[in-house]
Amino acid sequence: MNAGPLAGIRVLEVGHILAGPYATMLLADLGAEVIKVEPPTGDLSRQVSDAYFASINRNKRSVCLDLRTEDGRRRLGGLVAESHALLVNLKPSVIHRFGLTYDSLRRWNERIVCVAITGYGLDAGDEPAFDYVVQAATGVAALTGDPDGPPTLPGYSAADNSAGLAAALGLLAQIVSGRGGQVEVSLRDVMLSQLNYRASAYLNEGTEPRRLPFGAHSFYVPAQLFPTAEGHLALFVTHDGFWKSFATEAGIDGFETMTERVARRDEVLAVVTKALAADTAESWESRLRPLGVAAAAVRTLPEALAAAPGTIVTAGDFRLIGSPVRITGYEPGHRPPPRLGEHQARLE
């Protein structure tokens, strides 16, 4: 097996639950050595379930340090001296109290990259910043759901996962620079960043964001979920060539330009809804995809996993979703998540 592209990079993780551990697992999958620094009681996610912990902690090593003590912080300093980066997701006050910033750790290693994942910023205080709270605070929940219904949250932790991706990017960018320093990623900033075109439309054109039925796109028509004879279909038509292919297959005349389709949104949606009702979602998918039209039947997670078995990897006794980053010539191994303090001997 070839060494991963991040072989030789050592990353310390001081965190818990999801955002930080997800970021470092992605790095570990790419060959980085990730040392998970846990308190004597372990990462809080160990208390959720073994499957939950495994989903974001494969390919890591675990050591136990009590960072509330001077000895624990001294031992962490010894690890910092031999590492390229430290990533932490804790409350800002705890990050400062434990000395997990670049200003505090540079005495051990001038080139250490310190990444802090917080809710609202390293110096913004300790306001509660759980994933769903941040989605509510940044407008994501208000944009999700039926316009006549209540705000809705996605069925997964979008803010935590997205912050983990951004943190991994920031960490690698600073390592590539060859300089140590402090990197900050806040869940709030990440989610606002992901509302990019919605925010731009409001800031530059005064367009107030609004929810549309069936999750319809604000610019493209038709681009939303549609009921069919059986199941729902996601149809996403972004330009006139796609419309022509779809309309020919569905037996629809007219509405040839996007400008016309946007102006006559309700008429277009009524015609498309009637046409799609003549067949099932799975059948429409099989008919439209060969034509280059973006369409997919709405599947459950078990159905989606069954349709994409190549995304599943085995790590010890666990079956997990593998890394989304695939590099030609590199096939990552998948070690099971570490037992609490399993690699403590390296500190003795």
Active site residues: 160
What are the CB-based long-range contacts (under 8 Å, 24+) for 246-253? Answer: 246/288, 246/291, 246/293, 249/287, 249/288, 249/291, 249/293, 250/275, 250/276, 251/275
Strand partners, 245: none
Q: 295, 276 in Cβ contact below 8 A?
A: no
Q: Is residue 185 helix, strand or coil? A: strand
User: CA 235, CA 292: separation in Å to the nearest integer?
Assistant: 12
Determine the Cα–Cα distance for residues 317 and 311; give it in Å rounded to an integer.
17
DSSP state of 289: G
**Residue 79 and residue 52 in contact, taking contact as beta carbons nearer than 8 Å:** no
For residues 324 and 29, give the distance between their C-alpha atoms in angstroms, rounded to a whole number. Answer: 10
Half-sphere exposure of 170 (CA within 13 A, CB side): 23
Handedness of CA 82, 87, 91, 96 (dihedral sign): positive
- Residue 69 DSSP SS3: coil
- Cα Rg, the chain, nearest whole Å: 24
**Distance of CA 42 to CAs 15, 19, 71, Å?**
10, 16, 18
For residue 88, give the amino acid letter: V
Contacts of 52 (CB under 8 A, 6+ apart): 45
